[in-house]
Amino acid sequence: SRVDHGAWRSVVDVIDARSLQHADRVALSDGSVVVTYARLRERTRDLAGRLRARGLGRGDVVAVVLDRGPAFIELALAVWRVGAAYLPLAPAHPVDWRQEVVRRAGAVLVVGLSETHAVPGVPFLDLGSNAGSVAPEAEDAVLAPEDLAYIICTSGSTGEPKLVMTEHRGVSNLMHAQRDFLGALGPDTRVLQFFHPSFDASLFDILMALPNGGRLETIDASLISGEPLAQVLVGRSITHAVLPATVLRTLQPGRFPDLQVLMSTGDVCLPETARQWGAHHRFVNGYGPTEVTVASTLQTVGAVDGERVPIGGPLSNYHVVILDEHLRPVPDGTPGELCIGGEGVGRGYLGRPTLTAERFIPDPFSAKPGGRLYRSGDVGRWLSDGTLEFLGRRDDQVKIRGARIELGQVEAALAALPEVRDAVALKDGTGERLLGYVMPDAGAVLSGEAVRAELRRRLPGYLVPDVIVVVDAWPLNTNGKVDRARLPRPQRTERTGYQPPESPGEEALAGIAAALLGMERVGRHDNLFELGGHSLFATQLVARVRRMLGAQLELSAVLQSPTVAQLAARLGEGQG
């Protein structure tokens, strides 16, 4: 998908040209305060002067501790004007974690709105204070494609954050690729700035608006889902928005007359979501790891026939190959690892040369000497129509009670049930239980037991969550994704209508079962599996009954008769 965009220009140069062309038009708005293009240019140049006065220059890294809003966008452009790169962090990040990331990134300056954002030993610039010293006006740094643009912190499987380095080459290409795919983007474009700056997707929003003379509408964290977000989309006449699929499912399609283009990214998009929104707007599904500059494939979605929504084809100056474990291309239709090459491939992981060499490999599919291919760790396949299908992470499997389970498969099955709006599946902290969470359709009333019973009719038993919790809304993180750590964990408490054991045998069995389940008590008619029991629990129960009671209880009896009363009766029969 090679496209010649002419002589290379940085995003800063393109936005400057728009500032001169559309000086009086609004560039930024937070719903109350507006910033014109002329004022944007003036403010970013002033900020660049403050940065130069602190000694900042080409190749330096500036840690930016700001939330969504015009202040971040202005500062990011100012950082680029002096030739430096920004490292976006959130004020809500834990202090110790933030300080460690700043030091690992080698940031020479931290910028924020409060002294609480400062890092000991690193100079701090308080944006809320008086301007202070400003360096004499100087020409902006002449950016080159290989200059570092920003560093994004992503989570690593080892718990150690990865610092992904992205160059201006990729940023500029993304700007052009958006135009190639979306078509006309101009002064009448109003783009929602949804994503928090600490996520690279925030750049996608910025590039749709400012280099094209459009208007960027920023919001704060109180407006990122549900009715508050709906009011923003309508009240500010948003024409282009990129939203996680999870957030889309908190909105009602058909309410947004100004919305022209709606893009889903960040989470797997369900076919029903694409169908509902595609009936009203140009609906685009996207894919792209942080390591390849935000987005690498896009697809305008119409009717979806299969179980998954395609992620489309490569953007301009990207290419995607599907490789096996030996890095050989696989036939169309065969699953393999999604590997991405082209202008958007980043520099690698700061301070992690081994990991960089592992994931960023020489690209034999590139016509450009020295090109590198990013191994995403995601699984996908080419479809017969030439589009790509995302199948999940290679590591999006959990092993519960010996069975390998694709969480995405469980979530899709839950979401397909009547009156279920959205679903999440995860493994609990013990690693022994599969948990399901469902959000009902508006006005629907669901019970976890009823949902579980229906799912048992559709899936093999090992794929059915041990417990299903009904939630009114998802807890979301700063980027609008489901914060799984904040989902309510079901308690292993006894069922209502508790009936105590009635015989010494029942009392002994109930005591053993309660100890294994971590409960205070177990009723004689409580289903042990509905209380959190599983096949390993059944084996442990049999062994403990043999050891403590000297009685022989068959494993099949536990599986077939999983209540204290029934098991006590089985024991009585065996001894009679």
447-460 confidence digits (pLDDT tens): 998 998 888 877 76
Q: Torsions phi, psi of 449, nearest 5?
A: -65, -40
pTM of the model: 0.75
367-419 confidence digits (pLDDT tens): 888 899 999 999 999 999 999 999 877 766 665 654 557 787 788 889 989 99
CB-neighbour burial class of residue 342 (10 A; exposed 0-12, middle 13-18, buried 19+): buried
Token pair listed for 454: 């229906």
Half-sphere exposure of 242 (CA within 13 A, CB side): 30
Q: In what order do the strands lie in the sheet with 467-470?
A: 420-427, 434-440, 467-470
> What is the sign, positive or negative, of the torsion defined by CA atoms of 154, 157, 160, 164?
negative
Q: Torsions phi, psi of 32, nearest 5?
A: -130, -40
Question: Which pLDDT band, with edges at 50, 70 and 90, does 570 fall under?
Answer: confident
- Nearest residue to 190 (alpha-carbon basis) of 302, 44, 66, 34: 34
At 493 the pLDDT is: 47
Q: What percent of the chain has pLDDT over 90?
A: 60
At a CB cut-off of 8 Å and minimum separation 6, what does 531 contact? 492, 494, 495, 517, 519, 522
Question: Which pLDDT band, with edges at 50, 70 and 90, does 496 fall under?
Answer: low
* DSSP-H helix ranges across 167-225: 168-182, 201-209
- Are the beta carbons of 151 and 61 closer than 8 angstroms? yes
Domains of the chain: 11-388 (3.40.50.12780), 397-486 (3.30.300.30), 504-575 (1.10.1200.10)
* DSSP-H helix ranges across 347-406: 353-359
> Mean pLDDT, the chain, as a whole number?
89
pLDDT for 536 beyond 70: no
- Are the beta carbons of 517 and 532 closer than 8 angstroms? yes
At 300 the pLDDT is: 95
At 188 the pLDDT is: 95
Q: How far apart are CA 509 and CA 548, in angstroms?
A: 10
- 356-388 b/e with 16+ CB inside 10 Å = b? beebbeebeeeeeeebbbbbbebbbbbeeeeeb
Q: Strand pairing partners for 285? A: 264, 299
